[in-house]
Amino acid sequence: MKTWLNNFVLKTFAARALQGRFVALAVVLCLMLFTQTGCKSSTEYRQQADRVGNQIVQEKMEAIGRTEQFSIERSSDILRRRLLIEQNLPYAGLSSLGADQLEPIEHWPEKDYPSPEAILDPILLLGEANDLPQLTLLEALQVGARNSFEYQTRKEDIFKTALDLDLERNEFRNIFSSQVESLAKTDMSGSRTVSGLEQSGSMNVSRKLESGIEVSADLAVSLANLLTLNNASAYGVSGDATISVPLLRGSGRHIVTEPLTQAERNVVYAIYQFERFRRTFAVSIGSEYLSVLRQLDEVKNNEENYRGLILSAGRARRLSDAGRLPEVQVDQAVQDELRARNRWINAVETYKRRLDSFKKLLQLPPDARIELDRLELERLAVYSDEFTEKSEREEKSEAQVSSVNVDAQIVLEQPDMKNVGPLEIAEKTALALAFENRFDLKIAEGKIYDAQRAIVVLADSLRAELTLLGRAGFGGSRSISSASSDDIKLRTDKGIYSALLSLDLPIERTAERNAYRKGFITFERNVRDFQSLEDDIKISIRDKLRDLLESRESLLIQARSVKLAEKRVKSTNLFLEAGRAAIRDVLEAQESLLSAQNSLTAAIISYRVAELELQRDMGVLEINENGLWQEYLPGEKENVKK
């Protein structure tokens, strides 16, 4: 209401002024009107910054060969909040539920923040209300992308670099500014008291060119109106234009636009870093998810082992009562039963701790009740089946056990590359993919180029500074002391023109000299950082290929061990019933089965995690805006990022 009233008053006075001779007053009032109507609200400024920042990020996304929607607007109704509310979990205050739940403080500038349109999340609660939500691996990836605090912070880092770039671009745009002043003045120092009003308004436009030339122009209007001495009045109009042309130091497009060039590259670097983070984050979710399932599988194995030892202890007691088994063997069975119970309890509690840690990774409440999809382990079991079905090494070994010549020299068979997994590729191929696709390596290489450009700029600062300044001024202004004089009009033929050539000789350049030398140190350091990262990548790739081979061999060994352990448990139980085995044989067989089962699950998961980590380290694991991954398939060129 206040703004509308001000605009109405200004429009009325401007119209009245135009009807008379007070053209200058009309101009001043129009400037005031422009100032009132041209200002945006704080919300409009924020929304404009969002549009500019998002547009810049999408523009720079082309650097990584993808186009996707980008926004730092975060859904309020995420899974974290839904779990807190629907599972009636304790929380410390309204801040726990999100920024939109907080009461605005006094003088809060935003009426609707967060934006009402950004409140929906496709993954809210995976199941009906009050049911226990179950997360598949792919759903966990999406939840992590929407709930993780670090994920959101990394996106905001990109957005902030985009705003920094916009500020650098603004240096080369037309910059407009205006000022309106109204002064009431009474002068009683003379023989007569003089009172009057001084109204003034000015408009300025300036522009910096990429060549280093800076141009600016001012237009000012002033009106002096006496309230005494017959109400005399006069107005003045003045114009001013200046130009600055650097001729030596600070000249040249490559010098002037260096801050802009660096800001452009910083946005690309931020996107590279975010892409690297997304891949690392997705692999960590997958690894932790499978680790929790591995612990859950250990719970199941320990539970089955505990049940089996309870039966063994009961069988031992019956055989002892029948006089077929010594009492000492019954005690052994009971002791193993107690140890099995202890291992089972430890496995359950370890599983709970690992699950809490996984929920923390997804930024879900640690006390939230969720379950993971146990079928993921069954899907992974395909690795074990495929490897064991294709490999003939075990069958050959079994056939040779009975016919081995103990007197002959034993030659150990090294792991071969038969029946390997799809990602067990040649080391040179893996390194070539990593060198081509690793974003952190691109950043390290880019910083070398940045340091080279910085040296060029620092070398320019050592030169003499020669600047040509030009100025043109027209017209003038009026004040109360000159209100009774004639009006001043804008006349170019009565202007004042000047030119100045300024030379600053490079006599004192100590600071510039030291900065120049430091630039070379930074350059050499960036080269060393690149080389160090290159070596780290080589070590990482080689280690992951070794992990794949080791996990594959362990998988084959443990798969065979499980079969032998199962066979041993059955046979020892039969021998015990027939009186041909001791209870210790049964207990040891049961222990071997438990160990083999846990080791097989660990080998399967280790192989799968090594596959994901290798794709991450080669830079070929694609992650979309929802956090889902697209895995690399060797031999398919379309999956290799160019």
Six token digits for residue 329: 């063997």
pLDDT of 38 reads: 56
pLDDT of 5 reads: 44
157 found inside a domain: no
pLDDT of 387 reads: 64
pLDDT of 4 reads: 47
Instruction: Give tens-digit pLDDT for 263-298.
Output: 999 999 999 999 999 999 999 999 999 999 999 999
Instruction: Give tens-digit pLDDT for 292-324.
Output: 999 999 999 999 889 988 988 888 888 888 878
Strand order in the sheet with 496-504: 175-187, 194-208, 214-226, 233-246, 465-475, 496-504
pLDDT band at 390 (very low <50, low <70, confident <90, very high): low
Angle, in degrees to the nearest 10, between helices 510-577 and 258-321: 20
pLDDT of 132 reads: 66
More confident residue, 136 or 120: 136
Does the pLDDT of residue 623 top 50, yes or no? yes
Q: How far, in Å, CA of 160 to CA of 150, rounded? A: 15
- The answer to whether residues 31 and 1 touch, using CB atoms and an 8 Å cutoff, is no
**Cα 325 versus chain centre, distance:** 66
**Cα 49 versus chain centre, distance:** 19
45 found inside a domain: no
Counting residues of the chain whose pLDDT is more than 70, the rounded percentage is: 84
Does the pLDDT of residue 402 top 70, yes or no? no
Q: How far, in Å, CA of 23 to CA of 213, rounded? A: 35
Q: What angle do CA 152, 156, 161 make, to 5 degrees?
A: 155
- The answer to whether residues 304 and 385 touch, using CB atoms and an 8 Å cutoff, is no
Does the pLDDT of residue 381 top 80, yes or no? no
In sequence order, the β-bridge partners of residue 269 are none
- In the chain, the amino acid numbered 585 is D
Six token digits for residue 318: 């019956």
Query: 331-357 in b/e burial notation, b at 16+ Cβ within 10 A?
Result: ebbbebbeebeebbeebeeebeebbbe
Six token digits for residue 121: 């999340």
Six token digits for residue 469: 């300044």
Run of H or E including 378: helix 375-390
pTM of the model: 0.84
The number of domains in the chain is 1
Q: What is the mean predicted confidence (pLDDT) over 172-180?
A: 89
Does the pLDDT of residue 123 top 70, yes or no? no
Counting residues of the chain whose pLDDT is more than 90, the rounded percentage is: 43
496 found inside a domain: yes
**Cα 175 versus chain centre, distance:** 33
Q: How far, in Å, CA of 459 to CA of 453, rounded? A: 10
Q: What is the mean predicted confidence (pLDDT) over 185-213?
A: 85
23 found inside a domain: yes
Run of H or E including 584: helix 583-618
What SS3 class is residue 408? coil
Q: How far, in Å, CA of 520 to CA of 448, rounded? A: 11
In sequence order, the β-bridge partners of residue 240 are 218, 473
83 found inside a domain: no
Instruction: Give tens-digit pLDDT for 526-558.
Output: 999 999 999 999 999 999 999 999 988 888 888
pLDDT of 69 reads: 80
More confident residue, 265 or 389: 265
155 found inside a domain: no
190 found inside a domain: yes
pLDDT of 435 reads: 96
Evaluate the CA torsion angle 263, 269, 273, 275 in order and state its sign. positive
Per the structure, the complete domain to which residue 475 belongs is given by 2-39+173-208+213-249+465-504
Does the pLDDT of residue 124 top 80, yes or no? no
Where are any strands of DSSP class E within 17-60? none
Of 556, 564, 640, 562, residue with least CA distance to 606 = 556
Does the pLDDT of residue 37 top 60, yes or no? no
224 found inside a domain: yes
Does the pLDDT of residue 563 top 60, yes or no? yes
Which residue's entry shows tokens 């990836």? 141
Instruction: Give tens-digit pLDDT for 200-236.
Output: 888 899 999 999 999 999 988 888 877 776 777 788 8
pLDDT of 114 reads: 64
pLDDT band at 404 (very low <50, low <70, confident <90, very high): low
- Please compute Rg for the chain using Cα positions: 39
- The answer to whether residues 343 and 598 touch, using CB atoms and an 8 Å cutoff, is no
pLDDT band at 463 (very low <50, low <70, confident <90, very high): very high
Query: 482-519 in b/e burial notation, b at 16+ Cβ within 10 A?
Result: bbeeeebeeeeeeeeeeeeeeeeeeeeeeebeeebeeb
pLDDT of 8 reads: 45
For all residues of the chain together, what is the average pLDDT?
A: 83
Dmax (CA) for the chain in angstroms is: 138
pLDDT of 130 reads: 47
Evaluate the CA torsion angle 569, 575, 578, 584 in order and state its sign. negative
State yes or no: cis peptide before 90, omega within 30 of 0. no
Most confident range, picked from 22-26, 108-112, 576-580, 622-626? 622-626
pLDDT band at 19 (very low <50, low <70, confident <90, very high): very low
Query: 110-139 in b/e burial notation, b at 16+ Cβ within 10 A?
Result: eeeeeeeeeeebebbbbeeeeeebebebeb
Instruction: Give tens-digit pLDDT for 57-100.
Output: 998 988 777 777 888 887 777 888 888 888 899 989 888 888 88
